[in-house]
Structure 1
Amino acid sequence: MGFLDIDNATKSYGSVEVLHKVDISVEEGEFLVLVGPSGCGKSTLLNMIAGLEDITSGQISIKGAPMNGVHPSKRNIAMVFQSYALYPNMTVGKNITFGLEMHGVPKTERDAAMAKVADMLQIGQLLDRKPGQLSGGQRQRVAMGRALVRDPDVFLFDEPLSNLDAKLRVDMRTEIKKLHQRLGTTIVYVTHDQIEAMTLSTRIAVMNGGYVQQLGTPKEIYDTPANLFVATFMGSPSMNLIDVAIRADGNAVYADTTDDQGRKVSLAFPAPGAALRSFDGKTVKLGIRPEALTDVDGADQRSSHVEQIENTVTVTEPAGSDTFVTTTIGGAECVGRMRSDADVAAGRAATFAINMEKAVAFDPQTEDRIA
């Protein structure tokens, strides 16, 4: 049993089930991110944890106590919303301590708690201002301060950074991570941004269509995606997918495909298992991350299974520390991540290094990863 347990939780609106038997156990101090496209059910699940939405079936427990039917005010959770939800007529200090005042906490304790979080979030100089006098980043800090001051069992964040500009999102992401490392609090965080999910979480639940597609650490989600949806949703640029024919030859198994000129290319799998061998003679989807499709000098020197292919470059995109290079393999456009000084140009041939230790195969029928 975890600190926060979601056990077979479903949610229906009339005859339409929008969340399907969600099972997640969150340990104390964990940072769980619920990530997925709009309409996948992540915010609905967060609202069920908060008590803002009823559970149709199943159970949600916090510290072993069932929360079904328990009023949000009795759950000892704190929520940070996308819209900040600050009282415009109150000062920052009053916004932070208002909840404590409503719960009858003495003023001396309220002031001490406010001073502590103001120092932690570096907003001490803002305590006498009104929300209308603050920037978006400052308002988000105040919203976080209002949650932190209560010392709850679980913090719930509902896309808190989506209203901020790109640079401020990165800055606030760092601040939230620092806070979690310092306080060791239990956090459930909703976002549609897979970069936020990867950088903030200790574990990620990737959701789509009301189902949890995969639950795991950022490394597990990225390196061994459970299915094609997870593979393509997580990672930027997205994982390259190539139709290949599986060919077993003795102990070896190859992915047979073609280069940009239609010439046959055979890519050997390292340590192929029985599941992959069972696809001998069949077509599968081969997934290759951009960083596993690179220039020879940029290839992982620790890998013992790097294949090389001569191909024509169609597009180059310099991106500071990297150069993204587009080419065609097996009739599919593929993006490689090369070094910034890689000698490549559109229209010229280049040697691509493919790290087959990082390649993943998917069943095209079920879309599940082939173990």
Structure 2
Amino acid sequence: MGFLDIRNVTKSYGAVEVLHRVDIAVEEGEFLVLVGPSGCGKSTLLNMIAGLENISGGEIAIKGRVINGVHPSKRNIAMVFQSYALYPNMTVGQNMTFGLEMHGVPKPERDKALAEVSKLLQIDHLLDRKPGQLSGGQRQRVAMGRALVRDPDVFLFDEPLSNLDAKLRVDMRTEIKKLHQKLRTTIVYVTHDQIEAMTLSTRIAVMNKGYVQQLGTPKEIYDTPANVFVATFMGSPAMNIVPATVRLREGVPHAELTDSEGQTRHLRFSQPGLAAWDGRDILLGIRPEAITDPEGADRKSGNIQALPNRVGVTEPAGSDTFVTMSLSGRDIISRMRADVNVQPGQMFDFAVNMEKAVAFDPKTEERIAP
């Protein structure tokens, strides 16, 4: 049993079920991120935890207390919205303590909570201003402060950074991470941004079409994706997915592919269990950073495979150079060092870290266990 338990939860609108049997146990102090494309059900699930949406099936419990049907004000949760939802006619200080006032908290306690939280968020000099006098980042801090002063059991964040520009989004991401590390609060955070999900979370629930596709740590999600959707949704650039056939060579499974010239190439797997797939088609998944130049290859890997192939496009990107090639008719992206000497059209010895390769069943698109 977790601190926040989501047990077999479903959500239907009429005859249409939009959330399907979601099971997640969130431990106290955990930072769970719900991530997925628009319409996947992540905000609906968050609203059900908050009490803003009714639960069609299953149950949600906080600290062992089932909260199905409990009014939002009685759930001891705090929510930070995408739109900030600040009262424009109130000062920052009044916005932050309004909820406490409505719950009958005495003024000395309200003032103490306001002083502590405003100092923590470095907005104590803004308490007399109105929201219209603040920048986007400052308004976001006020919205977070309004949640923090209440000291709830669970914090809910609904895409809180999506209205900020790119640089401010990165800065606020760092601030939220620091805040969680300092306070060890329990957070459920919704985003469609997989970078936010990877950097903020202790665990991630990747959602698509109302189903939780995979629940795990950022490393588990990134290194061992449960299926092709997770593999391609998480990571930027996305994982390369290429058709291949498993062939045993001297008893060891290899991925058989064709290069840009139509020549057959073989890459040795590190997973001996794939020998059972001898002669069968698979989808081979390799992250861009696992394909590089020989000098930039991972020295700790015990399975770097050479792959001669023709270079397609090179894209300098500051700290990296992205180099495209073709395998089995698919464009493949590799991530190389910034100063690598690679020219479009030349033959080049790509270095493939097959310890990082994963295989998927082309029919189910599920990962094949090694």
Same fold (TM over 0.5): yes
1:269-308 map, 5 Å: 269-273=269-273, 276-308=274-306
Tell me the CA shift for residue 349 of structure 1.
2.1
> Structure 1: which 5+ runs fail to align?
none
Q: State the percentage of identical aligned residues.
A: 74
Q: What residue is the counterpart of 1:188 in the other structure?
A: 188
The AA in structure 2 aligned to 1:370 is I
Q: What residue is the counterpart of 1:139 in the other structure?
A: 139
Q: What residue is the counterpart of 1:344 in the other structure?
A: 342
Distance 1:271 1:194 in 2: 28
Distance 1:207 1:8 in 2: 15
Q: What residue is the counterpart of 1:29 in the other structure?
A: 29
Deviations 1:200-257 (A, max 9, x none): 0000000000000000000000000000000000000000011111112453001001
Tell me the CA shift for residue 278 of structure 1.
2.7
Distance 1:363 1:219 in 2: 22
Q: What residue is the counterpart of 2:326 in the other structure?
A: 328
Tell me the CA shift for residue 271 of structure 1.
3.4
Distance 1:314 1:251 in 2: 34
Equivalent pair of 2:260/2:325 in contact (CA under 8 Å): yes
Q: Secondary structure at the match of 1:156?
A: strand
Q: What residue is the counterpart of 1:56 in the other structure?
A: 56
Tell me the CA shift for residue 329 of structure 1.
1.3
Tell me the CA shift for residue 330 of structure 1.
1.6
Q: What residue is the counterpart of 2:148 in the other structure?
A: 148
TM-score of the pair, normalised by structure 1: 0.98
Deviations 1:162-190 (A, max 9, x none): 00000000000000000000000000000
> Structure 2: which 5+ runs fail to align?
none
Q: What residue is the counterpart of 2:257 in the other structure?
A: 257
Q: Secondary structure at the match of 2:111?
A: helix
The AA in structure 1 aligned to 2:19 is L
The AA in structure 2 aligned to 1:91 is T
Tell me the CA shift for residue 277 of structure 1.
2.5
Distance 2:122 2:46 in 1: 28
Q: Name which of structure 1's ranges 229-238 and 102-111 shifts more when overlaid on structure 2.
A: 102-111
1:1-371 map, 5 Å: 1-273=1-273, 276-371=274-369
Tell me the CA shift for residue 92 of structure 1.
0.3
The AA in structure 1 aligned to 2:232 is T
Tell me the CA shift for residue 279 of structure 1.
2.0
Equivalent pair of 2:252/2:275 in contact (CA under 8 Å): no
TM-score of the pair, normalised by structure 2: 0.99
Q: Secondary structure at the match of 1:297?
A: helix
Tell me the CA shift for residue 4 of structure 1.
0.2
Tell me the CA shift for residue 358 of structure 1.
0.2
Aligned residues: 369
The AA in structure 2 aligned to 1:234 is M
Q: Secondary structure at the match of 2:277?
A: coil
Distance 2:72 2:343 in 1: 58
Q: Indicate the RMSD between aligned Cα atoms, in angstroms.
A: 0.7
Q: Secondary structure at the match of 1:278?
A: helix
